Structure 1
Amino acid sequence: MQNDLVAALDIGGTKIAGALVDGQGRLLLRCQRPTPAQEDAETVMAAVTAVLGELAASPLWARATAVGIGSAGPVDAAAGTVSPVNVPGWRDFPLVPRVARATGGRPVTLVGDGVAMAAAEHWRGAARGCRNALCLVVSTGVGGGLVLDGRLRAGPTGNAGHIGHISVDLDGEPCPCGGRGCVERIASGPSIARRALADGWRPGPDGDASAAAVAASARAGDPVAAASYERAARALAAGIAATATLVEIETAVVGGGVAGAGEVLFAPLRRLLRSYATLSFVRRLTVVPALTGTDAGLIGAAAAASLGGRSETAAVAGGPS
């Protein structure tokens, strides 16, 4: 399979990205479209089809033997459906058969975006060689995936490690998932920005009210902006510590757009983690930034499709044998 490629899709609440990925995890061709997240199901699917169409227009397309999808969740890899919290038009949407049809019947593997990120980091990033890790993507939403005993563990439906919807505030705000006080409701980029604005932070002259703009203000010494990141870090620390206590991970790898805040996020996260991970078997838990960057979802989707027959992805639900 060394000459074969995988067509990878990374589907989130902000963008739909596609790539042709080789056996070394290199993206030979890449394209993306904005996610029409508030539109109906077919409009969102049309954006996916457009991305696939761009890939199929390349002479390299003939070498693509499989398709891997990392999607915002929850997903159901066994059923081939997705119900992303941030894409309300997709509820039990039959993404796998639709993508298979659009790609000429190629085999399609589906996992949650957090599992895809974990696959990427275990293959090419900060979790490489690590036997027990939680990998988180903190962006428009918050997802995660687990590496246990040296293997990616996606679970029966492809959602194992979905830390974003662990409740860390039992009396917290309702979450679109139906829960309350979820990690995602506190630590996602939109949540960080929303909280900062509610507490009195104001954007600069350019009007940028994103989490990245809040991080820039925090870096410049704005206490309200810093407090919003502190709150996000506390939610992440609580969720990471709970996961470590449950399955004894040794490392938490944090990626996604919010991780781009650097020490604005990581300094309070490491400090607060020490106050949550207190039992003897989790005290040595480390937190490190992801290395695969914005390509993590695409690299991981390709890995999940068993690119090159990689053994550590063999347990991914829905993957080819």
Structure 2
Amino acid sequence: MTQNELVAALDIGGTKIAGALVDSAGRILVRAQRPTPAREDGDTVMRAVEQVLGELTGSSLWSRVRAVGIGSAGPVDASRGTVSPVNIPGWRGYPLVDRVRGLSGRLPVELIGDGVAITAAEHWQGAAQGYDNALCMVVSTGVGGGLVLGGKLHPGPTGNAGHIGHISVDLDGDPCPCGGRGCVERIASGPNIARRALEQGWQPGPDGDTTTAAVAAAARAGDPVALASFERAAQALAASIAATASLVEIEIAVIGGGVAKAGDVLFTPLRRTLRDYATLSFVQNLTVTPAMTGTDAGLVGAAAAALGSGTRMKAGAPA
């Protein structure tokens, strides 16, 4: 890929559909965004994607675009080019890659899950840069993730590898909407942290705010029930990170998403508890750190996937 060539990136989630034109250094040159009509039928959702792509293709820079990367809420199936996001019911086995390829002038299209996209972003420009083996996690409304192994993004055959949120860490735990039981997501996601705090008797303030951010604020103020809910989430995350490290020998675990914004309320018990699970000699030095790429991570990661699908990035990026 020459310095003048660009890629297009799409970040598709239950709240918004974002698009961008991105250069080989990861700079976003053009942006477009629409709300996701997540409760509408599949064609209506696709029209929002078409509007975003329409803004991008209408840019004077579009002639320099050589590939398209898509990071989508999952599950995705990169082998088939389809998506079935849990939070977009109108898309089940939806042929997103074919649709985007047709709208983009038959450019190459690379599809990955949103957790893998954020992993690509963190490895390219964030906290995992310079590490050959990494786990990157998003802890928010759900819990997702992705892997870098041997210095390269490892999306797996369908683009879902590293989906750590649905590892079971409690064999007798609560049923998870995925069909499993005791999943990390059922314990450590934002809504479940708040749910558990409320069930255990936590009382919100006068404003009635029951969000995870409010629970985090209460925990920082020393509320024992709020602290216990974050401790439980940290324990689930630690167990899953240690299991992953034991399996594939990661060197670093990067954690982003809304729950990670709780800061020390999450990371202090997480690092402490990790010592109880990561006991083997080859995982004892595992680093746990917050993500760095912020709200543009999905777009940057989708761009990284497009760049890595047959083009070359600048030094420091996954090939």
Give me the TM-score of the superposition, normalised by structure 2: 0.91
Partner of 1:310: 313
Q: Report if the CA contact (8 A) 1:163-1:183 is conserved.
A: yes
- Quote how far apart the aligned CAs of 1:24 are: 0.9
- Quote how far apart the aligned CAs of 1:290 are: 1.0
- Shifted more, 252-261 versus 204-213: the winner is 204-213
- Shifted more, 101-110 versus 243-252: the winner is 101-110
- Shifted more, 254-263 versus 193-202: the winner is 193-202
SS at match of 1:31: strand
SS at match of 1:309: coil
Partner of 2:154: 153
Q: Report if the CA contact (8 A) 1:7-1:18 is conserved.
A: yes
The one-character-per-residue Cα deviations of 1:55-95 (angstroms, maximum 9, x if unpaired) are 33433333222211111222111100112233333221111
What CA distance in whole angstroms lies between the structure 2 residues aligned with 1:202 and 1:42?
Answer: 43
The one-character-per-residue Cα deviations of 1:239-285 (angstroms, maximum 9, x if unpaired) are 11110010111110111222111111111111111111111111111
Change in CA separation of 1:183 and 1:106 when aligned onto 2, cut-off 3 Å:
same
- Quote how far apart the aligned CAs of 1:130 are: 0.6
Partner of 1:56: 57
Change in CA separation of 1:96 and 1:230 when aligned onto 2, cut-off 3 Å:
same
Partner of 1:214: 215
- Quote how far apart the aligned CAs of 1:207 are: 4.4
SS at match of 1:305: helix
Give aligned-pair identity as a percent: 75
Query: Is 1:291 matched with 2:287?
Result: no
Partner of 1:317: none
Partner of 1:184: 185
SS at match of 1:252: strand
- Quote how far apart the aligned CAs of 1:206 are: 4.3
- Quote how far apart the aligned CAs of 1:291 are: 1.1
Supply the AA of the counterpart residue of 1:224. V
Partner of 1:139: 140
Change in CA separation of 1:96 and 1:255 when aligned onto 2, cut-off 3 Å:
same
Q: Report if the CA contact (8 A) 1:73-1:113 is conserved.
A: yes
Q: Report if the CA contact (8 A) 1:237-1:276 is conserved.
A: yes
Partner of 1:37: 38
List alignment gaps of at least 5 residues for structure 2.
Answer: none
- Shifted more, 31-40 versus 112-121: the winner is 31-40
What CA distance in whole angstroms lies between the structure 2 residues aligned with 1:199 and 1:46?
Answer: 44
Supply the AA of the counterpart residue of 2:242. A
Change in CA separation of 1:220 and 1:47 when aligned onto 2, cut-off 3 Å:
farther
SS at match of 1:59: coil
Partner of 1:106: 107
Change in CA separation of 1:208 and 1:52 when aligned onto 2, cut-off 3 Å:
farther
- Structure 1 segment 236-251 matched on structure 2, within 5 A: 236-251=237-252
The one-character-per-residue Cα deviations of 1:216-244 (angstroms, maximum 9, x if unpaired) are 22222222222222221111111111100
What CA distance in whole angstroms lies between the structure 2 residues aligned with 1:203 and 1:49?
Answer: 42
What CA distance in whole angstroms lies between the structure 2 residues aligned with 1:46 and 1:202?
Answer: 43
SS at match of 2:61: helix
Change in CA separation of 1:125 and 1:165 when aligned onto 2, cut-off 3 Å:
same
- Structure 1 segment 86-105 matched on structure 2, within 5 A: 86-105=87-106
Give me the TM-score of the superposition, normalised by structure 1: 0.91
Partner of 1:4: 5
Change in CA separation of 1:35 and 1:189 when aligned onto 2, cut-off 3 Å:
farther
Whose radius of gyration is greater, 1 or 2?
2
Supply the AA of the counterpart residue of 1:193. A
